[in-house]
Structures are given as C-alpha cells and as structure tokens.
Amino acid sequence: MASTRPGLVVTGLTVGALAVIGLLAFQADGAQTRALAAKPSASGSTGTSPSTTPTTGADQAPPQLPTTSGTGRRVVYSLGSHAVWLVDPKKTPPVQAAFRVTPGTADPTAGDYTVYSRTAAATGTDGIRIEHVVRFAQQNGTVFGFSAAVDAASASPAPTASPADPTKPRTGGIRSTRTDGQTLWDFAPSGTKVVVVP
C-alpha cells in the first residue's frame, strides 16, 4: 500500500481552496459589474430607471419634468407631451417614474387637482375594460382619470372628438400600459396632488 505524505495533502487542499476563492471572487466581480451597468446614470435627463421606460405611444422616453410642475409629492400630467411623472421630492431621484400615456378625446383644464376616487377594475366610458383607475377631475360632464386597458389591443381611444361633432363620445380616460398603471396606482392614493400642465 502506497503512503501519502502529509505535505502533499496539505498542498492539494490549499490549491483547491485557492481555486474556489478565486472562482467566488470572479463571480462577485461579475455581479458587481452587472449591477453597475444596470444602475441609471445620474446625468440622465428624466431621472428615471430603465424599468420606467415607456412602452406606450411612440415608445419614446418622456421629456424632462416641466419646470412649472408645482412642488411637493405629486403626479404631473403634460397635455402637450402626453407624459406622466410621479414626483416625490423626499426621494432620490425625485422623479420616481415617468412614462408616456394616451389621452382620451377630451383634455382637463391645466391646473392643480386631487385624487378623489380610485377603482381597481371597471369599464371605461368607451366600453373598454380598464384597471387601476385613479380619478382626479370632473369637467363639463367628463370624468378625468388615469387607467390602463386590460386588453392591450384596446388601449388606444377613439379619434378625438371636436366640439362641433357631438356624435363622438367625450372620454377623459388617460391610458397607460398595465405596468405603468400599476406604478401610478401604488404611488397615488386618494388625496394625492395631480398637476396638469399645458
């Protein structure tokens, strides 16, 4: 029977341990590199992370938060750019999410509002099944609020109605993707400020 020298066993165990440590260090370095690559840049124009990249409309990132969007914790909706920003100045970055939306056939008047009603699931005035409905205004018989169409194929509203064409329905639903709708729902309980800008 061949004998094994103790020095050879210790050397073998040491080499094996060093190989395991080297592998773990390599994996940890790769995980850190991936985490840094996924982190949003502080120089980004909207202050949003890749998870808030919109998938609505023309699949373009929303513009920078308007400077006239008010103060405090708020939902900002731009009539001109059809974009929404969820802003909490106590957090870094203050813009917690930003995404494009599809407006209804009527627009609310620019100004400050408050979320007054929320419904988890409903049918919109256009007959589309919607979820995460967050209402903030009623004007001239039209209710304005954010929501997401349950069926993505039904997300776009009817063509815009003109005041001279009363046969087309006036709808105030501002539609987002289901993911963005969930984000807005979680951010904006009743009483949350909504700022509508031109």
- Among 1-10, 20-29, 52-61, the minimum mean pLDDT is found in 20-29
- Report pLDDT digits (tens) over 44-101: 333 333 333 333 444 577 889 999 999 999 999 999 999 999 999 999 999 999 999 9
pLDDT for the residue 151? 86
Between CA 84 and CA 190 the distance in angstroms is: 17
The pTM assigned to this predicted structure is 0.66
Average pLDDT, the chain: 76
138 near 121, Cβ under 8 Å?
A: no
Domain spans in the chain, listed from the N-terminal domain onward: 7-39, 50-197
Contacts for 181 with CB less than 8 Å, ≥ 6 apart: 131, 132, 146, 147, 148
- CATH architecture of the domain covering 50-197: Beta Barrel (2.40)
Residue 42, phi-psi category: left (phi > 0), alpha (psi -120 to 50), beta (remainder): alpha
